[in-house]
Amino acid sequence: MTGLLSSFLAVEAVPDVSFTTEANWFLENVWIIPLLPILSFFAILFFGKRLPQGGAEIGIAAVGLAFVLAILTNIAWLDHRDNFDYHDGETRTHLEKHDDHAEDEHASALLEVDGVTESVVLSFAEEGAEGAEEIHPSVAVISERSWFTNGDVDFTAGTIVDGPVALMLFVVTTISLLVHIYSTDYVSGDRRYTHFFAFLSLFTGSMLAYVVSHNILQMIVTWELVGLCSFALIGHWWEEKPNSDAALKAFLTNRVGDIGLLVGMVILFFSAGGTFDVVEINEKAVSGEISQTALTWAAISLTAAVMSKSGQFVLHTWLPDAMAGPTPVSALIHAATLVVAGVFMIARLYPVFWYGFVIPGSDINGLALIGSITVVFGGLLAFVQNDIKKVLAYSTVSQLGYMVLALGVGAWTAALFHLFTHAFFKAGLFLGSGSVAHSVHSFDMKKDMGGMRKFMPTTFKTFIICSIALAGVFPFAGFWSKDEILVGTGGFGVGAGKANGEYTLMLVMGLVGAMLTGAYMTRCIYLTFFGEFRGHGHPHESGPRITIPLIILSVFAFGAGFLNFPPGFLTGDAKKPSFWQERFGHFVEPLAAYFPPISHSVPSWWLAIIASVIGLIGPAIAYFYYFVLVDRKAKETGEKLTELPNGPTTSVGFLKAGHTLLVNKYYLDHLYQNVIVGFTKGPLSKAAYWFNQNVLDGVVDEAGRTAVRSGNFIYRYIDQGAIEGVVNGSGRASTSGGQGLRKIQTGKVQQYAALLFAGATVLAGIFMFVN
């Protein structure tokens, strides 16, 4: 027993508790945090225009207050995580059997490793028995109220606070507050300034409501609300058609993924015995009460939703187009917060994916595969973009791929950690690109930028810091989180014991992705900040409301990684993490009955070094190409070059083909827009309508004509006979081709009605005999 445990470091004794309803006030009343920005939305909408700052002051006040509350909630959580007395407190799980057994028996969990089923006996009640030390659990805090009744079951709405929620509250409110402040300068004088701030508030509120959702129905509602805000903000300048097109594309692509969301959630609802409760579903997935088949189908369906919301390959195409929105929106929504909603959903319902995709003990699964493909294919696309925001957008796609990959290989904490660090440096990069664009009035790096470091030193410095963090250079934030993901793959057996399986392919793809990241950012930095200025006018540094958020974000981009030093870093003993190591993992990762028994990899110095070297090869090549070759050529010719004339992509055959493929975005947009959407909007709908008008309606009209004819027949020969009928009848018979009903005089209605009722009476008689 002891031996088994020590070989899998993290098969910890997870105490059999899930949640409590009584805790610190801030943890119980977390619903106030999303409510503030939502109220602010309505306040701005109705009163914003009358205020001196056009409503921005309401938004900033609300989000600022939410930020303060989020900080307090986090502090409360830090205390609660370690000091909550789960023996005496009001704690429980949804599974009754656990309550019965916890007292006298060891609850057992099945852990499947490399095809061998081992029964790991976990001891909670008897402290320290059989060598397994009791780990202090992470007890979630839940509060709920009745929402509606259906099928005689009362459904509640409520909030949950646990590690990942506390984290997201901090991330969302921080970035949102900075973006709000930045926006007061960036969009000042905009034609819909007030409207812009209203939707920033609504977005922040919906996202916060999403993360605190304690049931999947609430998650669906808020998931769609953030989608709505995304639609409204991407299409902020809807007068121009490309913008409204982008907004529609974003919404519709997400709707495609939502099919998966709805189906997946429905499967979970029924397979968990008719509940939407996240904790209960998770507990039942962990305890095996939900069948493997159901979990697999649910996981596959939900993955489709993640693919659209979190921009995973092949449903990522909306994300770069979403850059049509104002830059602060790109930073807030399409880099730091909204797009991680999908990642957060996997994290929230992790047992479903963990068991559904059989993550432990495998070497490949759907989630990890999608993530790794996205890392590489998204990164490649960043190389052919001229629009600085699109470079960053594809970079976001690629980084989201890392998060999904990490979740796919079982490195849950690494994924959330990367979500955390990425939020800061990517927001910094987007806001930095906005700062540049604000000054040159364009996003085109090749046409209108170049040499910006001279004009905008602060923006330049912060951009460089965030880029280095993104590229994952030691000791910046991205290094720590990316390294944790790479170790987590367990590829080639790194991490001492393939914690959750041996995902070698994912490790390789992750390394390739790291190489690409540095390279495209080097290109981006060269084109933007180095060389000669190619635009017009006299660019200058942005004001403090823009630069101060940039500085704050770059501080996080540098230091956020220190929150999760790997265990054993500088102390050597990975099995006994020091008090300053793995802080992030300790507070964020749920250790409770609603979370699967994930294992943690042991950090590997070798991998860190190799990854760093590989991660530097890419930038080195890009540096050589741009800073040496292009720069030299530019000085020789005296032209403002952005690439080598007759460079490899125009001269070498397969590179040229590859370049064309990338420029056309793998032809996915062509497939979606021209083939699928075009077919549905064009031939398919027209065919359906033709069928409607000519076949279905044809039958009706023909029936009408026949009724008229037979009515006339009866009227003429039976009822009246003779002349009048002949005139009427012939008059009507001569009209044909869909005109039949049109020619009928309304005065005849009673006649037909009488006919129909006579028929009805006859039919009623027939029924008598049928019986």
Partner 1 sequence: MNELREWGLTLLIFAPLIGAAIMMAFPKTDEGIHKVIALGTTIVTAIIGVILLIDFDYDRADEMQWAVERDWIDIIRAEYAVGIDGMSLPLLILTLLVVPLVIIYSWNHFPNPHNPKAFLMLILVLHTGMIGSFVARDLVLFFVFFEVVLLPMFFMIAVWGGEDRKYASLKFFLYTLFGSALMLVSFLALFFLAGAETFSIVGLAEAVADGDISRNAQIWIFGGMLLGFGIKVPMFPFHTWLPDAHTQAPTQGSVILAAVLLKLGTYGFVRIAIPILPEAAVVWAPWIGLLACIGIIYGALGCLAQTDMKRLIAFSSVAHMGYVMLGIATLTDWGINAAIFGMVAHGLITGMLFFVAGSVKERYHTLEISRLGGLLVSAPRMGWILGFISMASLGLPGLAGFWGEFPAILAAYNPANGLPVGLFRVYMVIAALGTVLAAGYLLWLLQRTAMGEPSEEFANDPHITDPNREEWIAWTPLLVLILVFGLVPGLIFNVTDPAVEANISDCLSADVGDDKANFDVGACERDGLDAALAELGVAIGDGE
Nearer to partner 1, 9 or 209 (CB): 209
Q: Note whether 352 binds partner 1 by CB under 8 A.
A: no
Distance CA 231, CA 251 (A): 6
**Least Cβ distance, residue 671 to partner 1 (angstroms):** 16
Q: Note whether 262 binds partner 1 by CB under 8 A.
A: yes
Backbone torsions φ then ψ of 207, nearest 5 degrees: -65, -40
Among 140, 225, 295, 349, binds partner 1 (CB under 8 A): 225
Other CB atoms within 10 A of residue 565 CB:
20
**Least Cβ distance, residue 81 to partner 1 (angstroms):** 22
Q: Note whether 756 binds partner 1 by CB under 8 A.
A: yes
Q: Are 153 and 205 in contact (CB under 8 A)?
A: no
Distance CA 139, CA 141 (A): 7
Backbone torsions φ then ψ of 657, nearest 5 degrees: -60, -45
Other CB atoms within 10 A of residue 444 CB:
16
Nearer to partner 1, 386 or 673 (CB): 673
Q: Note whether 270 binds partner 1 by CB under 8 A.
A: yes
Stretch that binds partner 1, among 235-243, 379-387, 544-552, 560-568 (CB under 8 A): 235-243
Distance CA 590, CA 166 (A): 11
Q: Which residues contact 208 (CB under 8 A, 6 or more apart)?
A: 33, 34, 37, 66, 168, 169, 172, 173
Q: Note whether 685 binds partner 1 by CB under 8 A.
A: yes
Among 704, 714, 735, 751, binds partner 1 (CB under 8 A): 704
Among 454, 540, 635, 681, binds partner 1 (CB under 8 A): 681
Among 275, 282, 398, 481, binds partner 1 (CB under 8 A): 275
Q: Are 374 and 312 in contact (CB under 8 A)?
A: yes
Q: Note whether 267 binds partner 1 by CB under 8 A.
A: yes
Backbone torsions φ then ψ of 425, nearest 5 degrees: -70, -30
Among 256, 512, 610, 644, binds partner 1 (CB under 8 A): 256
Q: Note whether 252 binds partner 1 by CB under 8 A.
A: yes
Among 68, 266, 628, 726, binds partner 1 (CB under 8 A): 266
Backbone torsions φ then ψ of 568, nearest 5 degrees: 90, -5
Stretch that binds partner 1, among 346-354, 439-447, 640-648, 692-700 (CB under 8 A): 692-700
Count of residues in contact with partner 1, rule CB under 8 A = 78
Q: Note whether 221 binds partner 1 by CB under 8 A.
A: yes
Among 455, 492, 533, 752, binds partner 1 (CB under 8 A): 752
Binders of partner 1 among residues 528 to 567 (CB under 8 A) are none
Q: Note whether 749 binds partner 1 by CB under 8 A.
A: yes
Stretch that binds partner 1, among 7-15, 144-152, 159-167, 525-533 (CB under 8 A): 144-152
Q: Note whether 767 binds partner 1 by CB under 8 A.
A: yes
Distance CA 192, CA 200 (A): 12
Q: Note whether 39 binds partner 1 by CB under 8 A.
A: no
**Least Cβ distance, residue 335 to partner 1 (angstroms):** 24
**Least Cβ distance, residue 333 to partner 1 (angstroms):** 17
**Least Cβ distance, residue 20 to partner 1 (angstroms):** 11
Nearest 5°: CA angle at 661, between 655 and 663? 100
Distance CA 519, CA 515 (A): 6
Distance CA 525, CA 227 (A): 31
Nearer to partner 1, 1 or 760 (CB): 760
Binders of partner 1 among residues 73 to 102 (CB under 8 A) are 94, 96
**Least Cβ distance, residue 268 to partner 1 (angstroms):** 10
Among 2, 83, 117, 150, binds partner 1 (CB under 8 A): 150
Stretch that binds partner 1, among 265-273, 342-350, 453-461, 576-584 (CB under 8 A): 265-273
Q: Note whether 32 binds partner 1 by CB under 8 A.
A: no
Q: Which residues contact 286 (CB under 8 A, 6 or more apart)?
A: 109, 351, 355, 593, 594, 595, 596
Among 688, 726, 727, 733, binds partner 1 (CB under 8 A): 688
List, as one string, the DSSP characters of 426-471: HHHHHHHHHHHHHHHT--BHHHH-S-HHHH-HHHHHHHHHHHHHHH
Residues in the chain: 771
**Start-end of H helices in 140-240:** 163-186, 193-212, 216-234
Q: Note whether 251 binds partner 1 by CB under 8 A.
A: yes
Binders of partner 1 among residues 376 to 415 (CB under 8 A) are none
Q: Is 495 left (phi over 0), alpha (psi -120 to 50) or beta?
A: left
In the chain, the amino acid numbered 167 is L
Most distant pair of Cα atoms in the chain: their distance: 114
Token digits of residue 547:
């630069």
Stretch that binds partner 1, among 81-89, 239-247, 536-544, 646-654 (CB under 8 A): 239-247
List, as one string, the DSSP characters of 226-249: HHHHHHHHHTTTTTSHHHHHHHHH
Q: Note whether 747 binds partner 1 by CB under 8 A.
A: no
What is the DSSP code (8-state) at residue 214?
S
3-class state of residue 537 by DSSP: coil
Binders of partner 1 among residues 713 to 742 (CB under 8 A) are 741-742
